Amino acid sequence: MAAARGSVFASGFPPGIPRHSYPAPRARRLALISSTQRLFAVSTAEQLPSAPTSVPGPTPTTEGELGQNRRHWKDREPNGSAAASPFMEDEGSEVEGKKRLEDFFDLAKDLIRSAGGLPRWFSPLECASRINNSPLLLYLPGIDGTGAGLASQHKKLGKIFDVWCLHIPVMDRTPFTDLVKLIEKTVKSESHNSPNRPIYLVGESLGACLALAVAARNPDLDLILILSNPATSFNASQVQSLIPLLEIMPDQVQLTLPYLLSLMRGDPLNTLRATSEKALPPQEMVAELSKDLLNMPSFISVLADILPKGTFLWKLQMLKSASAYTNSRLHAVKAQTLLLISERDQLLPSQAEASRLYRALPGCEIRRYEENGHFLFLEDGNGIDLVTTIKGATFYRRGKSRDYISDYLPPTHSEFIKLYESNKWFSDMTAPVMLSTLEDGTIVRGLAGIPSEGPVLLVGYHMLLGLEIISLMAQFLIERNIHVRGIAHPMLFPKYKEDGSTLSPFFYDAFRIMGAVPVSGTNLFKLLSRKSHVLLYPGGVREALHRKGEEYKLFWPEQAEFVRMAARFGAKIVPFGTVGEDDIGQVVLDYEDLMKIPYYRDQIMRNTEGNVKLRTTATGEVANQDMHLPGIMPKIPGRFYYLFGKPIDTEGRKQELKDREKSHELYLEVKSEVERCIAYLQDKREGDPYRSIFSRLVYQTVNGSSSDIPTFEL
């Protein structure tokens, strides 16, 4: 493990306390200072790019070059200069491939060597390089009490948070209520120092009870709770039966430790699956799996030092009092809360508890993990990435309220790869053809015609269910290193509902990680002012949920909604058309049909009422924003085609386009160009010898599965 260092804050100590040092094996330094002082070993601030930039100087590429680019894009260096990469920098175990459990025990071993003292905060030096105005994150440990549960994620968390971890010494016997007061004192002090920034409380099991108790006692403070398998359900768990058994068990017999360690490792099949996905040679794979087994005795030894019999009994008794104390005060919790729930938790009945807490806490969201056990942050094979989870749930903010533009954190290269791989089957099935138009009007294959420098407004046609977005967003990043921010319907930002009326929250998280923002004039203004590449669909929901026989028909409002905004910032407007959804599915039950069926009519009305109303003053078909899912009959997959028209420059036309007639003329020009792009693609695809999936499969069988598939002549 690389050297990890940090500052430690002794809670309740006076400001003038002298510094002390823990032992420093492998150059790890943990300095003891006062919690009332904001002192850090390193205080360099790093500002993440608020508007991802792109690689300048595009040139048209041949089909061979495009194919090579697509095959090797993942091998590019993702963390180059800020001007070259649209990604947030990868950090921590995500890059280094370290084992989470190994990181945990390495740090825990150093922490418990300090033996004795009061509970205290430590701030790892891996968390020293933060973005400006980063909020404070207080990590509250579970039953282990070490505060090392996030060891493998410190670097990544430290990019966006000021991270403090609570360490409870092994022999400490501070009661639960005193721990609550200790944390409360820190929270109040830091809230006073930074009144406009939220404070995050991240708690596991026992730590989740501490977080809820602090929030209940301080409903007026701006707190954000992220709780992993809260121990509020302890009274309903079978763990209680361990207490009388431990009381009579000799100190030399530690039957519970191997069981606890097995739970910390998680499902061995997940570890095996994660190792096999690395595609290592058989000998290296065996060596890596063997290393895990060889480490077990040393882990047991450290775990015995962390949880000797007396400490383990004390912690179990504390869980009992923590559960009772917290449950009696749940009604007072007003904080925004994110529950991270394991569906294979063998220590606590977390599944049922999540539903109870969801009903009890007004600002609660849930993320359920089907294949994980109790120790979510420690599992190697399938453990969660806390930063990715926070980004996906849109729980990151640096002020009193979330700003979808300034608070947005771009995906890391690894996050994008995971999302891309999860949807690669769709791109393989539809084999998208991307065409763009150069300044001289020449149509070329690829995205060379897209301006490198923003602001750029991509305005186009929304195919059925908006399926064209999947390949579009990915291809802009792969081919041009351009991160496109989509203006999205509020339905992509719903509060998760346990009644099943919303899709899995992970479905929405993917769009939000990739930068989708709720549609509003304010958000469009902010994106263009930051020179972003913005994706806009004027037809919105009405276009994406079109009726039978309405393929490739535009449903745009009468008003020129975006033209004057684009002109204000001198944005380039790129009209584009897409075709192909009629080649993969056919609408057999549309809105009109569904409204005739009482069950579906009621469902449509409920879904519509639960969403923010848009275009309430509009008239005509575009005003119909009723949310429904049409019945679609799948077809043998065809192919998707995209054509981006010649960019329309609004630079220097701000005054001209203030005139309503002039702006409307440009609006109609953009709309006409979108229709022209659609017509061009509909005509040209008839001459594509690889429009059918069967011909594409034959081509790739002969030329290799990663070969770039040709299309019609341009």
Region 514-536 average pLDDT: 94
- Does the pLDDT of residue 553 top 90, yes or no? yes
Condensed to tens digits (0 to 9), the pLDDT of residues 628-684 reads 788 899 888 889 999 999 999 999 998 999 899 999 999 999 999 999 999 999 999
- Band (481; pLDDT cuts 50, 70, 90): very high
How far is residue 1 from each of residues 21, 96, 122, 266, 714, measured CA to CA in Å?
A: 20, 10, 19, 21, 55
Highest mean pLDDT among 3-7, 607-611, 689-693: 689-693
Tell how strand 641-644 and strand 433-437 pair up.
parallel
What is the pLDDT at residue 383? 73
Share above pLDDT 70 across residues of the chain, in percent, rounded to a whole number: 76
**DSSP designation for 43:** -
Determine the pLDDT at residue 38.
34
Percentage of residues of the chain with pLDDT beyond 90 = 51
Does residue 164 contact residue 124 with C-beta atoms inside 8 Å? Answer: no
12 band by pLDDT with thresholds 50, 70 and 90 = very low
* C-beta separation of 343 from 370 below 8 A: yes
The radius of gyration of the chain from alpha carbons, rounded to an integer in Å, stands at 28
Q: Where in the chain is the domain with CATH 3.40.50.1820?
A: 96-237+319-393
Pick from 116-125, 273-282, 405-414, 493-502: least confident: 273-282
102-116 average pLDDT score = 84
Give the model's confidence band at 78: pLDDT under 50 very low, under 70 low, under 90 confident, else very high: very low
Length of the chain: 714
Give the C-alpha separation, 126 to 15, whole Å. Answer: 24
- What is the mean predicted confidence (pLDDT) over 230-247? 79
User: Tell me, what's the pLDDT at 1?
Assistant: 37
Q: Which residue has the higher pLDDT, 298 or 227?
A: 227
Mean pLDDT of 370-386: 85
Q: How many CB atoms lie within 10 A of CB 694?
A: 10
**pLDDT value, residue 26:** 34
Residue 199's pLDDT band, with cuts at 50, 70 and 90, is: very high
Q: What is the predicted pLDDT for the residue at 134?
A: 92
- 3-class SS at 108? helix
More confident residue, 493 or 436: 436
The pLDDT of 366-384, averaged and rounded, is: 86
Domain 96-237+319-393 in this protein, CATH class: alpha beta
Residue 144 pLDDT more than 90?
yes
The pLDDT score that the predictor gives to residue 623 is 58
pLDDT at residue 582 tops 70: yes
Cα separations in angstroms, 655 against 368, 459, 648:
52, 22, 16
Confidence (pLDDT) at 237 = 84
More confident of the two residues 77 and 230 = 230
Q: Token match 């409360």: residue?
A: 184
Distances (CA, A) of 212 to 206, 339, 425, 613: 10, 11, 42, 34
> pTM to 2 decimals?
0.83
> Which has the minimum average pLDDT: 268-277, 405-414, 476-485?
268-277
What pLDDT does 16 receive?
29
Query: Is residue 8 over pLDDT 60?
Result: no
CB 379 within 8 A of CB 373: yes
Render pLDDT for 317-335 as a digit per residue (tens, 0 to 9): 999 999 999 999 999 999 9
